[in-house]
Structure 1
Amino acid sequence: MASLKERITRLQSSALFRGMTRESLEPLAKILNEESHKAGTVLMDMNAPGDKVYIIEKGRVRVSRVTSYGEETTLQELTAGDIVGELAPLDGHMRSAKVTVTEDAVMFAVSGEEFEQLLKSNHDVSYNLLRELGDRLRRANDNIISRLEEQRVNIEGRMLRLHKLTEASKSINSTLDLDKLLTRILEAATSSLDADRGTVYLVDDIKKELWSKVLQGSNMAEIRLPIGKGIAGVVAETGETINIPDVYQDKRFNRDFDKKTGYRTRSMLCMPMKNKDGKIIGVFQLLNRTDGAFTKDDEEFIDALSAHASVAVENARVAQEMVQNERLSAIGRMASTIIHDIKNPMSTLRVYAQVMKRKSGNEEAGKLADEMIHQVDRFVNMTQEILDFTKGVSSLNIVDLEFGEIMNSVLDFIQQDLEKHNVKLLRETQFKGMVKMDQDKMVRVFYNIASNARDAMPNGGSLTVRTNEAKGYVNIEFVDSGTGMPDEVKKRIFEPFMTYGKKHGTGLGMAIVKKVVDDHKGRIEIDSEMGKGTTIRILLPAA
């Protein structure tokens, strides 16, 4: 507890008692109570009786009110030398604000009655109080003006963001082309946040990867990364926002891209794109905000944009699926019509070939008749296979077969076709054992792959066919010296209607090839490099 002399000295430092002599302050110093209050203490509450006035000796308090929206807003901060709680004892009303200690404080407390008596008996105190209230009113006015200006700037910023969000929504909802859509979503995100660059990834649920399209030179190239790897991969896995002011201070950031390109990544914002059910369908990755780090407002904007983007992405996917289903349906109807129209002519040809074989008595003519019968059956079965694929039907007749004999017969037929196009067939067939397969379907797989290889060598070249045994599987490789294919095509080659470098065909060939191999519980792999050719590798279970 401070001595009387110390109290008087402290009171003289207060704005309320400025200019007063020690003698005039002595009676007041005797009636003051010294109180200590910890940070967090509510000194006064709204609508409570005003029975005390406090003079702050040291520490800090916050004066606040609760708005009609239930939000607590700070009116002012008071420190050593300030007086608090003086109005309620004077006007007889309840407390009009809440006072909370924000920093451990020591105060002098005086009752409301004693304070009122002090004002009546001492004109200096009354004058100082009036001046202090005037200063507070001026500061309050400045504070109100400052807050109004801050609110105006904030509202203008939000209106601008809302306008950008509206324009972005119009843009991304005006196309059903997925590639164009990704570009528009990225443009909306980078321009709205003043980001230097970025990427919008989509989730591939089957491969557990993120993928996107980026511009490389004049072409769009596909990039992929595993979910859970890298910052974008972690966001796709966890659904959490990652906002990094300086990526070089974050161990999760891989600097290899910067080293390779010379680009300097500074700030990064990575956020999930979720559909209406909360499922993560993509990831936003934005780099280098123009004026520093990405803000909470930026996060809120991307979160809002994500809602529009996810709907647009799912609409585009549904539209693509509908178009693909319609194309499959159209091809199915065409195949059904062809089968119906050619059934009788093909049956007639088949019967005539059988009659020719019986009546010719010539071995060579008999072989030609057998080949006619085989090719008629192949044509009808191939058309039926397209029809089955469009309907999602799968039927196999898998039996144990002597592989070497079948492969030689297939290669003999393929060789005749390749020679017409100046393509040399090289045989490295080592496997002669048994294999489990549907002969008709796998033969058509080999024909299809060889035909694609031929088309990739318009000026001639070579096709090497290798067979060998590999750990319970028969390994069949088709290696051409053709033009090769870019990575983007290689990754999509088994998709329906995917064609590359062809002016004819349905685009179903390799999709059917993969389905047949999968149905055999086998695997198919592709290695290709532009200008160096393509290798297609099929692994089938050995018998």
Structure 2
Amino acid sequence: MPPKVDILKERVKHLEKELRHKQLIISSIHEIGKALSSELRIDKLLPLIMEEVTRIIDAERSTFYVVDHERGEIWSKIAQKAEISEIRLKIGVGIAGHVAKTGETVNIQDAYSDPRFDPSTDQKTGYRTRSVLCMPIFEPVSSKQKTKPKILAVIQALNKKSGVFTHEDEELMASLGAQLAITLVNSKLYLSLEKRVQELNLLYLIEQEASSTEKEDTLYQRLIQKLVNTFKVEAGLIAFFDNHNKTFGPYYYANIPESDIKKLDLAADLGIERHVLSKKEIYYTNCAPHDPLYLQNQPSGLKLKIDQLICAPLIINNQPVGIIQLYNKVNKNDIFLKDDVKILTSASRQISRLIEARRLREEKIKAERLATIGNMLSTIVHDLRTPMNNIYGFVDLMRDEEDPQLRNEYADIVIKQIGTLNNMAHDVLDFAKGKTNILPVKYPVNKILDDFRKLFENEIKKQGYQFEVECKASCMLYVDPDKIIRIFMNIMKNALEAMDKGGKFSIKAFDRGDEVEFQLSDTGKGIPPEIKNRLFESFVTSGKKEGTGLGLAIVKNLVDQHKGRIEVDSTPGKGTTFKLYFKKL
């Protein structure tokens, strides 16, 4: 009888052990269930869940790998007791990589005898892997779904404390894996919702800026800073694109030194920039130093080492007006993903609409100002009677006055009044009413320069400036000579205002193949940087006591009517040269 008692005691002891194990499993599942019902953030859930998994399976440690299909790799979201903070493996490499690729469950007793095992992690950490239980976690699917479920993650347990992993361990891990799958899907939905909220917040902030009355510089600097903050990148810039000259500028930037921006030379006809402008679509790379398009057109001048880049076009009326570039995720483990493309697509469209709205608003303001000038012309004509009456009056006085000093004084007043009439007629009436149609004729280049010299040489020298004329082109042009003189006169007026007494104004003509180049140069202060990019726009002026701000706008209008072109070279403190090109006859 005693042997039977011993057998029963052993049986009871075994059953008690089984009961404790089942209680442990039930307790762990209960804890996991509580966690799943109280938390959506995967980063907070997984440590607790993996601790319970390790305890239930009776393993030394366990690892939870997230499958990143965009990168083609798996990486350890949670690696219990690991000596390294993160493990990354290509899909298909190692046992976990094999499971991520095939969707098979792997249960091996001796890891080093299995050719799929990658010992590199053991070599880095000094840990010795013996037994391995590795299982995929599939995306939950409905019974009607015919497609193969997507592998979301891989869960791996190492070194069973009491021997090797059993079939019961596999079933238990599969049961836990099903719960983890639901957790992952819920977490992804939560993250997707967070990203959507983030996108809406960004679009709302951009929309708020649409009604801003701040200067463009301030507005665009603030926008790029918001983009940098939202996408959690190291730096970024907005580069406007000049469709006429095919160049970039001005630049608005965040977290980039101003000294780098001054040196920045970004070509529009090469690399990523050309692709984005021509295709009108976003381009991104997470390995810029090995990207062929990036290598074609690296942004020279930037000290920032660019490893990751995303570039989006700014489009108005199906024409590119600029680009947005963001550089390097702040978190080195992050990359640009399709979600970033979606958000930046929405943001770039919103910013494009903002730019268009501001431009339309500015054009409307200019149109209203021009309309006001037109509507006021009748008043202006009426007002012309005052200077005309003055002229008549002083001419009568001059006729009867015998004192030479007074006669000269009256003459100066008359000249000044005539100048006033002339300026009003040319600067306002012609341009505001659009009466700038040209009447071209065959005209020699040297005759144009000679006409200008006769009209203005004495006046220029009388005002205390040097004057030089040089002609190295002996050909004919098909132009309106009066309008060409008008162009020269407007540039000359600006040049004289920019120079101190004793400065030099020169006008020269050169033969340039099938064109004639006129160079009008001064030794003045140069063009202020704040108006350099808007030099030929209406009402642009800087620091002038007199003038309508229409002079150079009229110049550009007349040059365009002659199908010519104009370039400007200006150095602060040294002077400015306007280069005008017209086709030879």
- Counterpart of 2:488 in structure 1 is 446
CA distance in 2, matches of 1:69, 1:335: 78
- Counterpart of 2:284 in structure 1 is 243
- Residue 268 of structure 1 and its aligned partner are, at CA, apart by 0.4
Counterpart of 1:422 (choices 451, 461, 464) is 464
- Give the AA of the match of 1:163: N
Contact 2:203 2:347 in 1 (8 A): yes
CA distance in 2, matches of 1:469, 1:78: 73
Residue by residue over 1:181-233, the C-alpha shift from the partner in whole angstroms, topping out at 9 and shown as x without a partner, is: 42233122111011111122344444444444246759997988564423123
Residue by residue over 1:22-48, the C-alpha shift from the partner in whole angstroms, topping out at 9 and shown as x without a partner, is: xxxxxxxxxxxxxxxxxxxxxxxxxxx
Contact 2:238 2:323 in 1 (8 A): yes
CA distance in 2, matches of 1:70, 1:346: 91
Asked whether 1:284 is paired with 2:329, we answer no
Q: Hey, which of these two has a bigger chunk of strand by percent?
A: 1
CA distance in 1, matches of 2:581, 2:318: 40
- Give the AA of the match of 1:338: I
Q: Which runs of 5+ in 1 are unaligned?
A: 1-59, 80-127, 358-364
- Give the AA of the match of 1:326: E
Asked whether 1:272 is paired with 2:313, we answer yes
CA distance in 2, matches of 1:523, 1:207: 11
Residue by residue over 1:453-493, the C-alpha shift from the partner in whole angstroms, topping out at 9 and shown as x without a partner, is: 11121353212222355546554322211222367744432
Contact 2:566 2:580 in 1 (8 A): yes
Residue by residue over 1:347-389, the C-alpha shift from the partner in whole angstroms, topping out at 9 and shown as x without a partner, is: 9969998xx99xxxxxxx9xxx9xx99x959945861563332
CA distance in 1, matches of 2:263, 2:330: 27
- Give the AA of the match of 1:389: F
Counterpart of 2:371 (choices 297, 319, 329) is 329
CA distance in 1, matches of 2:374, 2:389: 21
CA distance in 2, matches of 1:485, 1:246: 42
CA distance in 2, matches of 1:402, 1:141: 90
Secondary structure of residue in 2 paired with 1:234: helix
- TM-aligned CA distance change 1:514 to 1:137, over 3 Å: closer
Residue by residue over 1:133-153, the C-alpha shift from the partner in whole angstroms, topping out at 9 and shown as x without a partner, is: 666434423443454445445
- Counterpart of 1:519 in structure 2 is 561
CA distance in 2, matches of 1:305, 1:78: 32
Contact 1:227 1:237 in 2 (8 A): no
Contact 2:288 2:306 in 1 (8 A): yes
Contact 2:306 2:328 in 1 (8 A): yes
CA distance in 1, matches of 2:262, 2:523: 24
- Give the AA of the match of 2:285: I
* TM score, norm. by length of structure 2: 0.59
Secondary structure of residue in 2 paired with 1:270: strand
- Counterpart of 2:222 in structure 1 is 184
- Counterpart of 1:25 in structure 2 is none
- TM-aligned CA distance change 1:157 to 1:456, over 3 Å: same
Contact 1:204 1:210 in 2 (8 A): yes
Contact 2:460 2:466 in 1 (8 A): yes
CA distance in 2, matches of 1:75, 1:219: 46
Secondary structure of residue in 1 paired with 2:384: helix
- Counterpart of 2:70 in structure 1 is none
Asked whether 1:140 is paired with 2:140, we answer no
Residue by residue over 1:78-137, the C-alpha shift from the partner in whole angstroms, topping out at 9 and shown as x without a partner, is: 99xxxxxxxxxxxxxxxxxxxxxxxxxxxxxxxxxxxxxxxxxxxxxxxx9999766643
- TM-aligned CA distance change 1:170 to 1:470, over 3 Å: closer
Contact 1:228 1:237 in 2 (8 A): no
Q: Which moved more, 1:377-386 or 1:309-318?
A: 377-386
Secondary structure of residue in 1 paired with 2:520: strand
Counterpart of 1:263 (choices 292, 295, 304) is 304
- Counterpart of 2:548 in structure 1 is 506
Asked whether 1:481 is paired with 2:550, we answer no
- Higher relative contact order by CA 8 Å / sep ≥ 6: 1 or 2? 1
Secondary structure of residue in 2 paired with 1:253: helix
- TM-aligned CA distance change 1:450 to 1:278, over 3 Å: closer
Asked whether 1:234 is paired with 2:272, we answer no
- Residue 269 of structure 1 and its aligned partner are, at CA, apart by 0.7
Q: Which moved more, 1:64-73 or 1:256-265?
A: 64-73
- Give the AA of the match of 2:233: A
- Residue 318 of structure 1 and its aligned partner are, at CA, apart by 0.8
Contact 1:490 1:526 in 2 (8 A): no
Contact 2:270 2:297 in 1 (8 A): no
CA distance in 1, matches of 2:222, 2:528: 25
Secondary structure of residue in 1 paired with 2:205: helix
- Residue 312 of structure 1 and its aligned partner are, at CA, apart by 1.2
- TM-aligned CA distance change 1:377 to 1:236, over 3 Å: same
CA distance in 1, matches of 2:233, 2:451: 62
Counterpart of 1:195 (choices 233, 242, 248) is 233
- Counterpart of 2:59 in structure 1 is none
- Residue 299 of structure 1 and its aligned partner are, at CA, apart by 1.5
Q: Please, what is the CA RMSD of the aligned residues?
A: 4.7
Secondary structure of residue in 1 paired with 2:294: coil
- Counterpart of 1:12 in structure 2 is none
Secondary structure of residue in 2 paired with 1:386: helix
Secondary structure of residue in 2 paired with 1:492: coil
CA distance in 1, matches of 2:299, 2:270: 17
Q: Which moved more, 1:404-413 or 1:500-509?
A: 404-413
CA distance in 1, matches of 2:315, 2:503: 50
Residue by residue over 1:36-89, the C-alpha shift from the partner in whole angstroms, topping out at 9 and shown as x without a partner, is: xxxxxxxxxxxxxxxxxxxxxxxx99977645998979498999xxxxxxxxxx
CA distance in 1, matches of 2:271, 2:150: 46
Q: Which runs of 5+ in 2 are unaligned?
A: 1-134, 155-165, 400-406
CA distance in 2, matches of 1:131, 1:477: 88
- Give the AA of the match of 1:144: I
- TM-aligned CA distance change 1:379 to 1:262, over 3 Å: same
- Counterpart of 1:10 in structure 2 is none
- Counterpart of 1:166 in structure 2 is 204
Residue by residue over 1:422-462, the C-alpha shift from the partner in whole angstroms, topping out at 9 and shown as x without a partner, is: 32112334668765443433322222211111112135321
- TM-aligned CA distance change 1:158 to 1:385, over 3 Å: closer
CA distance in 2, matches of 1:217, 1:315: 28
* TM score, norm. by length of structure 1: 0.63
- Counterpart of 2:293 in structure 1 is 252
Secondary structure of residue in 2 paired with 1:443: helix
Contact 1:468 1:474 in 2 (8 A): yes
CA distance in 1, matches of 2:200, 2:234: 21
CA distance in 1, matches of 2:281, 2:298: 23
- Residue 177 of structure 1 and its aligned partner are, at CA, apart by 4.6
- TM-aligned CA distance change 1:181 to 1:134, over 3 Å: same
Asked whether 1:467 is paired with 2:505, we answer no
CA distance in 2, matches of 1:62, 1:158: 26
- Residue 235 of structure 1 and its aligned partner are, at CA, apart by 0.6
Secondary structure of residue in 2 paired with 1:327: helix
CA distance in 1, matches of 2:252, 2:153: 56
Secondary structure of residue in 2 paired with 1:300: helix
Counterpart of 1:213 (choices 251, 264, 286) is 251
CA distance in 2, matches of 1:454, 1:323: 30
Between the two proteins, the alignment pairs up a number of residues equal to 423
CA distance in 2, matches of 1:394, 1:69: 74
- TM-aligned CA distance change 1:506 to 1:517, over 3 Å: same
Contact 2:238 2:252 in 1 (8 A): no
Contact 1:461 1:482 in 2 (8 A): yes
CA distance in 1, matches of 2:152, 2:374: 78
CA distance in 2, matches of 1:335, 1:502: 23
- Residue 521 of structure 1 and its aligned partner are, at CA, apart by 3.6
- TM-aligned CA distance change 1:158 to 1:400, over 3 Å: closer
- Counterpart of 1:300 in structure 2 is 342
CA distance in 1, matches of 2:218, 2:534: 18
Asked whether 1:410 is paired with 2:448, we answer no
Q: Which moved more, 1:435-444 or 1:207-216?
A: 207-216
Contact 1:212 1:224 in 2 (8 A): no
